[in-house]
């Protein structure tokens, strides 16, 4: 990991990007950081039996992207577990339980009949939402907690499964270009529908499980935009592809004259937002 951290710092220097990326892993011990309080246990069996107190569940709602936002500020970890979930969607997308809940299907699409919950209308029908949930189902987590923390807090004994940058479009241009160069494919970056935590956790693992080497661009979830900087998106890469990107960066477009011109805009963007980037 020492070599990876060193190369990551070099990549950040080339990009003109300040914030170290986060990694995703599973662990049995609760990390020092931010996560939901104990609450409702989300399972299909409890849902069918009517044992889930939905008033309590929505009242104790904790967005995983919100926990990540706090972790980014404090350089700590964000986490979620099955017993301390906070969000039925976040628990599913992080591999804490399967199968998904029918309540989630209705909530994200057309709303829950017989209640005041109109639904988010992010997809047009329960059928379209079920197709999405079936498609993005991540492998079940290998530990009690799904943990997201700064890359520098990982070790050789505990490497991340994937790496996520929180980045604005100018620096994102560099990451996007480098991904295609490292993968040797023009379609190495994808932008599937999903919550922000889906893009950070579920989709990278799902594509990797299918043998598809790609990065996932995310952060388009309207519900989670309040936990991200203005104009900021997420860029998540499975570890195997990320290593290829680090190995390829010194021969990529990031060391060419054209990128030097773009990097000046990266630095201007940082100054515009009061965030002085490296080399500014």
pLDDT digits (tens, 9 = 90+) for 76-93: 999 999 999 999 999 999
Is the domain of 129 the same as that of 167? no
**Tens digits of residue pLDDT in 119-150:** 999 999 999 999 999 999 999 999 999 999 99
In angstroms, the Cα distances linking 144 to 81, 82, 195, 199 are 6, 7, 22, 21
The dihedral sign for the CA sequence 172, 241, 98, 85: negative
pLDDT of residue 116: 79
Residue 178 falls within a domain, yes or no? yes
Mean pLDDT of the chain: 95
Report residue 275's pLDDT band, with 50, 70 and 90 as the boundaries.
Answer: confident
Asked if 92 and 146 count as a contact pair (C-beta separation under 8 A), the reply is no
- Residues of the chain with pLDDT > 90, as a percent, come to 91
Mean pLDDT value of segment 37-43: 95
Mean pLDDT value of segment 72-77: 98
Residue 235 falls within a domain, yes or no? yes
Is the domain of 8 the same as that of 95? no
Report residue 278's pLDDT band, with 50, 70 and 90 as the boundaries.
Answer: very low
* pLDDT exceeds 60 at position 98: yes
pLDDT of residue 114: 76
Cα separation, 198 vs 55, whole angstroms = 24
pTM of the full predicted structure?
Answer: 0.95
Q: Which helix (H) or strand (E) holds 174?
A: helix 169-183
Burial class (CB in 10 A: 0-12, 13-18, 19+), 268: middle
Q: Give me the number of domains the chain comprises.
A: 2
Neighbours of 184 (CB within 10 A): 10
Cα separation, 24 vs 78, whole angstroms = 10
Q: Which domain holds residue 67?
A: 33-135
Residue 147 falls within a domain, yes or no? no
Find where tokens 């926990």 sit: 67
Is the domain of 58 the same as that of 87? yes
Q: What is the DSSP letter of 97?
A: S
Residue 143 falls within a domain, yes or no? no
The pair of structure tokens assigned to 262 is 């773009």
In angstroms, the Cα distances linking 69 to 26, 62, 73, 148 are 19, 12, 6, 11
Is the domain of 175 the same as that of 263? yes
Residue 173 falls within a domain, yes or no? yes
Is the domain of 212 the same as that of 266? yes
Is the domain of 83 the same as that of 172? no
Is the domain of 165 the same as that of 265? yes
pLDDT of residue 94: 98
pLDDT of residue 279: 42
Find where tokens 């980014």 sit: 72
Is the domain of 169 the same as that of 120? no
Residue 7 falls within a domain, yes or no? yes
Is the domain of 168 the same as that of 130? no
Is the domain of 181 the same as that of 86? no
DSSP SS3 for 119: coil
Q: Which CB contacts under 8 angstroms, 24+ apart, belong to 262-270?
A: 262/170, 262/173, 262/174, 263/14, 263/15, 263/16, 263/174, 265/170, 266/15, 266/16, 266/17, 266/170, 266/171, 266/174, 267/16, 269/168, 269/170, 269/171, 270/16, 270/18
Is the domain of 61 the same as that of 127? yes
Residue 145 falls within a domain, yes or no? no
Is the domain of 60 the same as that of 164? no
Asked if 92 and 133 count as a contact pair (C-beta separation under 8 A), the reply is yes
């Amino acid at each position: 990991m020492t070599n990876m951290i060193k190369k990551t710092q070099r990549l950040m220097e080339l990009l003109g990007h300040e914030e170290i990326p986060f990694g995703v892993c599973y662990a049995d011990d609760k990390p020092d950081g931010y996560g939901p309080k104990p609450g409702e246990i989300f399972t299909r069996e409890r849902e069918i039996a009517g044992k889930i107190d939905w008033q309590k569940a929505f009242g104790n709602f904790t967005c995983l992207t919100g926990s990540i936002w706090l972790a980014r500020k404090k350089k700590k970890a964000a986490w979620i577990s099955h017993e301390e979930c906070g969000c039925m969607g976040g628990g599913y997308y992080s591999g804490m339980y399967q199968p998904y809940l029918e309540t989630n299907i209705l909530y994200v699409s057309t709303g829950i009949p017989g209640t005041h919950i109109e639904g988010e209308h992010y997809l047009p029908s329960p059928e379209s939402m079920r197709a999405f949930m079936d498609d993005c189902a991540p492998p079940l987590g290998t530990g009690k907690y799904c943990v997201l923390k700064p890359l520098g807090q990982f070790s050789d004994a505990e490497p991340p499964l994937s790496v996520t940058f929180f980045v604005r479009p100018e620096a994102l241009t560099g990451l996007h270009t480098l991904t295609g160069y490292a993968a040797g494919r023009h379609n190495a970056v994808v932008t599937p529908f999903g919550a922000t935590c889906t893009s950070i956790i579920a989709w990278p693992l799902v594509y990797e499980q299918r043998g598809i080497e790609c990065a996932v661009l995310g952060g388009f979830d309207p519900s989670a935009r309040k936990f991200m900087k203005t104009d900021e998106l997420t860029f998540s890469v499975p570890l195997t592809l990320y290593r290829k990107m680090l190995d390829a960066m010194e021969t990529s477009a990031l060391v060419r004259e054209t990128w030097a011109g773009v990097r000046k805009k990266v630095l201007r963007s940082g100054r515009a937002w009061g965030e002085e980037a490296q080399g500014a």
